[in-house]
Structure 1
């Protein structure tokens, strides 16, 4: 328990940095075990324990595996590490899941039982909006209601238009250090279109869209290709942005864009879960 303050500090730091990790907590022990109820550990996406302790090798492999899977699919797990004779009494084998509990074998001489709750701590998805058009302002206003971390990139003189924003960047230089899964929307509408698009395509994202007509986007893309911008990066650009719902007003266009992003995000999450369940 002596590590608890450090763990809480690191949980806050990793959350602020937008990093995915898992928090493992020992919730019950029976007989002799190295870790006791309440012990915690932070497990990073690569399977490394960066802070805390949940016991030695008897439970480590099973908990780390559960943590990696939890980070992948966003679902918590309860792992029960038990000696082989108790597993046999229950009629379960190591790796079996029953009633939401995954059983693992304790091969250590202690022969104790330890139950560990593994909770994925996933960052809010990042929505990066470049520009300060009415559509950009409307999108920044509604996105937080759906759990998005909103970053606004626009000249400082135009930032006052945004009431809801988690982060603000003066100009169009995106933050490459943020580890969140990012969805990027360029909504400059004639004020710095090419500069904003150049910044957007230079940073990896799960979604890249341009608020404007297809013809205008094609003109900008052609101009950027002539300047040597990577054609592969430009090919990912979606224009016009949003689902086709017949949107006309800035609020309606913002809604169509957010709907498209949510549909993409949920589809990707379903695919992640299917991949984890198949392994």
Structure 2
């Protein structure tokens, strides 16, 4: 088995396990370089190269920095490692970016040029649903279609149909959540509201919501505070969950919740769309 095949096998395994990483690929070389076009490497968020090879120290520092940045913003980038005299001819300095290419200096004796494509592979955003109400079931199904990794946690006795979720947990204590952007929705609707909310507050997430009225949430707040939950964390729970779309059916309510989550998920990411101009 070639090194290339081994790298791609590991890529498949890490994607399946919802692990974040960067796939770096040498796309062009000029003159003498340690790695040739087509060489690949897998880089973890801590900077560890776990498989493959893209050359020695001449390119490693620039690629690792680009890998860290790519994992932060989710955007791929091109790194061009060149001798300083060639950078000067182009009118750029090490660290400059031009037309999507980040330039770095090759200080090694080889004086070769390497262009490396750095591609972040991030886990799917995670939606954790606590409860097995009709809204919860519809939310799970719709979220999967939108590319979320869905975990549904509810007592087995409350689950009357097979949820359309990646992971199904008996009870309100989901474990082994993937290390991705996370959104949590409590949709128990009368079956274990307090216990589910308490479990939801213990999950680190960008968004917490409760499918229920403001009045019901206010009553639950008193119980949660009395039980030791932080008042500030409770105040961040959106109740009722979802945008005000006039939703009535479980499917419509689930859609309104996903619309609100989409606003949170895409905040700051949206660029100009020519179809809307």
TM-score (norm 1): 0.90
Q: Secondary structure at the match of 2:82?
A: strand
Q: Deviations over 1:92-125 (max 9, x none)?
A: 2222222322221111000111110000101110
1:25 is displaced (CA, Å) by 0.7
- How far is 1:20 from its partner? 2.0
| SS of residue in 1 equivalent to 2:209 | strand
User: Could you tell me how far apart the structure 1 residues matched to 2:105 and 2:256 are?
Assistant: 50
Q: Is the counterpart of residue 101 in structure 1 residue 101 in structure 2?
A: yes
How far is 1:73 from its partner? 1.1
**Structure 1: which 5+ residue stretches go unaligned?**
274-279
Deviation at 1:269, TM superposition (A): 4.3
Name the TM-score, length of structure 2 as normaliser.
0.91
2:123–2:178 Cα contact (<8 Å) kept:
no
Q: Which residue of 1 aligns with 2:145?
A: 145
Alpha-carbon deviation of 1:18?
A: 2.6
Residue 229 of structure 1 aligns with which residue? 229
Secondary structure, counterpart of 1:205 in structure 2: coil
Matched residues, number:
271
Matched, 1:122 2:126: no
Tell me the alpha carbon deviations over residues 174-232 of structure 1, each in whole angstroms, 9 at most, x when there is no partner. 12442122100000001111111111111111111000001111111210111112323
Distance 1:212 1:51, change over 3 A: same
Give yes or no for contact 1:17–1:179 (8 Å, CA) kept in 2: no
CA contact (8 A) 1:24 1:118 kept: yes
Segments of 5+ residues of structure 2 without an aligned counterpart are 272-277
RMSD: 1.9
Name whichever structure is richer in helix by fraction: 1
Contact 1:176–1:203 at 8 Å: present in 2 too?
no
CA contact (8 A) 2:152 2:163 kept: no
CA contact (8 A) 1:141 1:162 kept: no
